[in-house]
Structure 1
Amino acid sequence: MIKLERKPKPQILIDNQQAWTSNLLDAVSKYGSYSKIPKNEKEKLLVHYRHEQIKSVLFYSSLDKCAFCETKPSESGNIEVEHFNPKSRYPDSAFDWDNFLPACRKCNGSKDDHDSRNEPIVNPYDLDPEDVFSYKDIRITAKENEYKQMGDMTISVCSLNSVRLMKPRADILVSLHSFSAALEEAIEDYFEADTGVKRRNRKRKLGEALEAIDLLANPSEKFSGFCKSYLRGCAPYQQAKDIVEGAE
């Protein structure tokens, strides 16, 4: 999970949010509860939040990744408009822009109607996940700080340590370990260079290797939070950066 920046509210919501919300609340009042609204009528009342003008802005803000697990649509089902505070419990927030998150079908289904208002989980638009989570091998864990309860709840509610997520993390971890080993060899070669020309060339190659590794931690890439965490604790990576940046 990575920190996301919410984009301005789409014009279609500015123009229609009040009316859409009012119509839904009228139906809740008419039938006695949200759950008792007839299925077809409920669908007609709710369809607006899936409008393309809403989805396009929302999905753009997460770089077309799930806000919770960072997978892309081809891996975990289509990205959907998720209600952070479930619309079934809080129908007054069904069209609230600040209540929308982009979530894959797997995370959306796992979260279901969890009451995030009374049992808080991490909203990456409001809180930097780096303050909450760390990784142990291929498992995401909650840090031992003020956010631990929220972090543990998020991991449980969204099944962030499910097999579907740990397996691709494992594949990436193999690649990262391979990169790390290659960097160690490249660093040794750099320090063994016996001429200035050789050292400059090997420094350039180190820079190219770092650029390739950094692509894995690019925010647009899947599991970029996991990759960034690994690189933060990778000694060869940090040493290579010091060499390339001139702080040997």
Structure 2
Amino acid sequence: MIKLNRKPKPQILMQNEKTWSSNLMSAIASHGGYSKIPKEEKEPLINHYKHKDIKSNLFESSRQKCAFCETKPGESGNIEVEHFAPKAIYPNLTFEWSNFLPCCRKCNGSKLDHDTVQEPIINPYNVDPEDFFDYQDVRITAKNNNAIGKLTIDTCGLNSVRLMEPRAKILISLNSYSQSLEDAITNYQNADTAAKKTIRKRKIAESLEIIEKFTQPTEVFSGYCKFYLKTCEPFNMAKKIIEE
């Protein structure tokens, strides 16, 4: 999970949210509750939040990734607009821009109607997840065992097999690049002429460029990759060599 920056509210929402919300709240009052509105009446009332302009704006802010697990469901059409505070409990927030998150169906299904007001979890638009999470091998962990981090992991299923398996594949790649960096550093240190040092330093820079691509916000599991590199000795040593 990485920090996300919310884009300005889409024009379609600015123009219609009050009307949409008013119509929904009127139906709730008429039927005596959100859950009591007949499905055939409720769907047309709430489906406005799925407008293409809203989805496009929201999904762009996460680079088409799920805000929680950092997979790219957008590539398969399985990315959805998630209500951080569930609309079933807080229908007044059904069309609230700040309550929308881009989410994959798996995380959405895991979170369900978890009450984030009464039991808060991490919202990556509001706080930096890096302050709350670490990683151990292929598992995400709550930094210093903090409660909100633990609850987020459990609520969204962030250590499910579907996420640990691709993390494991990325870990293999990162370890391979790390070993290559280590070899490149050794070759650089053993260079016996200035010309050789220059050439080998350039190779280190090229290797760094490749491995750092894993941490770009557009990449899946970029938060995991960023954590790995923070504690990767060959990577940090290579950075120092390039900065010399």
Shorter-chain TM band:
over 0.9
State the distance in 2 between where 1:156 and 1:75 align: 25
State the distance in 1 between where 2:47 and 2:91 align: 13
State the distance in 2 between where 1:143 and 1:75 align: 31
Corresponding residue number in structure 2 for 1:151: 149
Corresponding residue number in structure 2 for 1:161: 159
Residues 99-133 of structure 1 show CA distances to partners (whole Å, capped at 9, x for unaligned) of 00000011011100000000000000000000000
**C-alpha contact (below 8 Å) 1:142/1:152 kept by paired residues:** yes
Q: Say yes or no: does 1:51 pair with 2:19.
A: no
The structural deviation recorded for 1:73 is 1.4
State the distance in 2 between where 1:12 and 1:221 align: 29
State the distance in 2 between where 1:185 and 1:34 align: 62
The structural deviation recorded for 1:77 is 6.0
SS in 2 for 1:144: helix
Corresponding residue number in structure 2 for 1:233: 231
Residues 151-182 of structure 1 show CA distances to partners (whole Å, capped at 9, x for unaligned) of 00100000000000000000000111111111
Corresponding residue number in structure 2 for 1:8: 8
TM-score (normalizing by structure 2): 0.98
Residues 18-62 of structure 1 show CA distances to partners (whole Å, capped at 9, x for unaligned) of 110011111111111111111111110011000001001000000
- 1:97-116 aligned within 5 A: 97-116=97-116
Q: Amino acid of the residue matched to residue 39 of structure 2? A: K
State the distance in 1 between where 2:131 and 2:49 align: 31
Unpaired runs of at least 5, structure 2:
none
Residues 170-223 of structure 1 show CA distances to partners (whole Å, capped at 9, x for unaligned) of 000011111111111110000000111100000000000000001111110000
State the distance in 1 between where 2:97 and 2:103 align: 14
% identical equivalent positions: 61
Corresponding residue number in structure 1 for 2:187: 189
SS in 2 for 1:81: strand
**C-alpha contact (below 8 Å) 2:67/2:101 kept by paired residues:** yes
State the distance in 1 between where 2:156 and 2:7 align: 24
Q: Amino acid of the residue matched to residue 135 of structure 1? A: Y
Q: Say yes or no: does 1:91 pair with 2:91.
A: yes
- How many residues are aligned here? 244
Between 76-85 and 89-98, the greater mean CA deviation after superposition? 76-85
**C-alpha contact (below 8 Å) 1:134/1:229 kept by paired residues:** yes
Corresponding residue number in structure 2 for 1:129: 129
**C-alpha contact (below 8 Å) 2:80/2:105 kept by paired residues:** yes
How large is the RMSD of aligned CA atoms in angstroms? 1.1
Taking a change above 3 Å as real, the CA distance of residues 47 and 72 of structure 1, as seen in their structure-2 partners, is same
Taking a change above 3 Å as real, the CA distance of residues 76 and 156 of structure 1, as seen in their structure-2 partners, is farther
The structural deviation recorded for 1:97 is 0.1
**C-alpha contact (below 8 Å) 2:4/2:125 kept by paired residues:** yes
